[in-house]
Amino acid sequence: MSQNSTYTEDNIRSLDWKEHIRMRPGMYIGKLGDGSSADDGIYILLKEVLDNSIDEYVMGAGKTIKISIQNSKVIVRDYGRGIPLGKVVDVVSKMNTGGKYDTKAFKKAVGLNGVGTKAVNALSEYFRVESTRDNKSVSAEFEYGVLKGKEGLDETSRKRGTKVTFIPDVKIFKNYSYRLEYVEKMLRNYVYLNPGLTIVLNGKKFYSENGLKDLLSDNIRTDERLFPIIHLKGEDIEVAITYSKVQYSEEYHSFVNGQHTTQGGTHLGAFKEAIVRTIRDYYGKQYDPGDIRKSIVGAVSIKVMEPVFESQTKTKLGSTDMGGELPTVRTYVVDFVKRRLDNFLHKNPNVSESLQKKILQAEKERKDLSGIRKLARERAKKASLHNKKLRDCRIHLGDTKKENYLDTTLFITEGDSASGSITKSRDVNTQAVFSLKGKPLNCYGLTKKIVYENEEFNLLQAALNIEDSIEDLRYNNIVIATDADVDGMHIRLLIITFFLQFFPEIIREGHLYILQTPLFRVRNKKETIYCYSEEERRNAIKKLGRKPEITRFKGLGEISPDEFKHFIGDDIRLDPVMLDKSKTIDEILKFYMGKNTPDRQEFIIDNLRQEVDLVEEIEAELQ
């Protein structure tokens, strides 16, 4: 510390509730982002409002929730009991104020700390709440958390309930936009966990009758399942289980009190343990846990009294007790699964026979690969020790806190110049770089043996820590960073094929992205504008005027590290890789990576012609 620095009473500040939230938003909503990732802050804002409406439904008040998202404006309307009219302002602007502290009113609510809507209010440039009950209505409007007006106790014929409108603050959530695919996935999870609830988004209806069974049905097609979905329900627990014919690793969906615990927790650990114990006991064989769970697709949901999560965003359950006089989470889950799954297997011999064949097949494959897997691990360890392929981030080197997991990113690059630029300009705390050596192998139709035999795939798998399951995935965001030319596009497609072929859940769970880098730099002596599209280039030229200097970037290696830090920092632009649910993974791979077909040839020619026409037009203007 500098000898000239001072520490006096003047250095001590007391922040009011909104100042603290705006200064440290990550403490309340996790990472910020621009909406390109499903766990970005703008979706957490929506979730915090929705959680209150869901809790109303759970308490038997209101069967429909209506949502409108138009550009940046979000409206959520429920038909629950409505906020008590005398407390409308306090509930959204006073910390530690809410109805969920009284467990008689909200026995198993998602939010217990009275923070959610306050964070939404503080982080929105505009926020309005309106409550209707007993034929009366009260509303209040805020800007950046500051109360601007209140209308009270008006007589009304509107149905009871709460309506919240907010516009996230663009100064905090830079260049943000809502991707409706992410919102729809969130809403599907809500209706799976609350059968009978209807949620309407921009006129599109979401509804479920069969809970977690519908979740698995929508995520794994009938012809990709080893056997029909096993669906088991208890008073405070629900599970669904099947096995995939097309994926190698384990895939889980876990929930607590309606909250999607993307990082699992005590309940998911107990669920996995219960499956192994039940199957070992049923067959009377000490099968390897990995063989039992290989290719499983499972979902578990439990309800806990006053749950304890490991962060404000509630992505991992820390509770060990169910609450009240109930046993521990582990005991409760294990006992339920052992009893009910064992009964199911005895009553359904066809399923138990298929399952045993699957386990024995996994056992044979593991033993066949045991030698090569051991050598592959040793190669991966050696490569890491010599920093040959992976330039890791400090989170995984033990130099910073693990709680920053949501911000961790692995850039997959090709070529020394591109990887060098990203390595020099990255945030060393959370961003890592994996360098490819040339084009990776087209692995379409190959077995997982190739992952261990091929150095690139083996080291990438080791870097991600996804050999058996993505539960311990080391990076929340996996970003493909290749040139936007033909070779770069081909490399990009080969990497996506690798994940589709062997780890499709990486894509299903929203971890894989394409890095957008600017196509042009437009500048004059006073200002520089980076443009990601032809439209942005034209707008930049209009803004700067008088023939500004225009540079077209043809590859990542042409962008200096000083410039690159703008494109992988706060203003990073990512395109998520998403699956078309109307097609199987095999159909997708066959179209793009299989033998040439007239349809694929036509698709390539059409897209290539559009790209060539655009490039020729741009280069002509730059003459």
The pLDDT of residue 390 is above 80:
yes
pLDDT for the residue numbered 443: 87
Query: Could you state, in order of their start, the residue ranges of all structural domains in the chain?
Result: 17-207, 212-363, 387-517+555-582, 518-552, 595-623
Q: Between residues 329 and 126, which one has the greater pLDDT?
A: 126
**Cβ atoms 456, 514 nearer than 8 A:** no
- Confidence grade of residue 211 (pLDDT, cut at 50, 70, 90): very high
Question: Residue 406: pLDDT above 50?
Answer: yes
% of the chain at pLDDT higher than 90: 39
Q: What is the CATH number of domain 17-207?
A: 3.30.565.10
Beta-strand runs (E) in 213-335: 230-233, 237-243, 251-256, 259-260, 296-302
Domain 387-517+555-582 has CATH 3.40.50.1820: no
What pTM value is reported for the model? 0.81
Q: Write out pLDDT tens, residues 481-526.
A: 988 777 888 888 899 989 988 888 898 888 999 998 888 889 998 8
User: What is the DSSP secondary-structure string of 323-391?
Assistant: STT--BHHHHHHHHHHHHHHHHHHH-HHHHHHHHHHHHHHHHHHHHHHHHHHHHHHHHHHHHHTTSSEE
267: phi then psi, degrees, rounded to nearest 5: -70, -40
- From CA 445, how far away is CA 171, in angstroms rounded? 47
**What pLDDT does 604 receive?**
53
The mean pLDDT value of the chain amounts to 83
Greater model confidence, 327 or 458: 458
Tokens 């000083």 belong to residue: 562
pLDDT digits (tens, 9 = 90+) for 58-88: 888 889 999 999 989 999 999 999 988 888 8
Q: What residue has token string 């990576």?
A: 593
The phi and psi torsions of 71 (rounded to 5 degrees) equal: 60, -115
Please tell me which of 36-40, 158-162, 280-284 the model is most confident about, judged by mean pLDDT: 280-284
For residues 306 and 74, which has the higher predicted lDDT (pLDDT)? Answer: 74
Contact 176, 42 (CB under 8 A): yes
Q: What is the pLDDT of residue 177?
A: 92
What is the pLDDT at residue 105?
44
Predicted pLDDT of residue 113: 40
Say what the pLDDT of residue 601 is: 57
165 or 455: which carries more pLDDT confidence?
165
Angle CA 200–202–203, to nearest 5: 60
- Token digits for 403? 């709680």
Q: Does residue 63 contact residue 198 with C-beta atoms inside 8 Å?
A: yes
Spatial separation of the C-alpha atoms in residues 584 and 55, rounded to whole Å:
36
Average pLDDT of span 614-618 = 46
Q: Please provide the CATH number assigned to the domain covering 212-363.
A: 3.30.230.10
Buried b (16+ CB within 10 A) or exposed e, 424-441: ebbeeebbbbbbbeeebe
Identify the bridge partners of residue 129 per DSSP, sorted by sequence position. 140, 164
- Has residue 7 got a pLDDT over 50? no
Place of tokens 């006991």: 281
Task: Look at residue 534 in the predicted model and tell me its pLDDT.
Answer: 86
Q: What is the mean pLDDT of residues 143-152?
A: 89
Going by pLDDT thresholds of 50, 70 and 90, the confidence category of residue 213 is very high
Which two structure tokens, joined as six digits, stand for 213? 């069974």
Whether residue 97 is predicted with pLDDT greater than 70 in this model: the reply is no
Which pLDDT tens digit goes with each residue over 327-377? 788 899 999 999 999 999 999 999 999 999 999 999 998 888 888 888 887
Which residues have CB under 8 Å from 510's CB, separation 6+?
A: 37, 38, 182, 185, 576, 578
Which tokens in the block code for residue 240? 């669904």
552 pLDDT band, cuts 50/70/90, is confident
Given this model, what pLDDT does residue 622 score?
43
Helical segments of 234-295, H only: 266-283, 289-293
Dump pLDDT digits (tens) for 413-443: 987 767 788 888 899 989 999 988 878 888 8
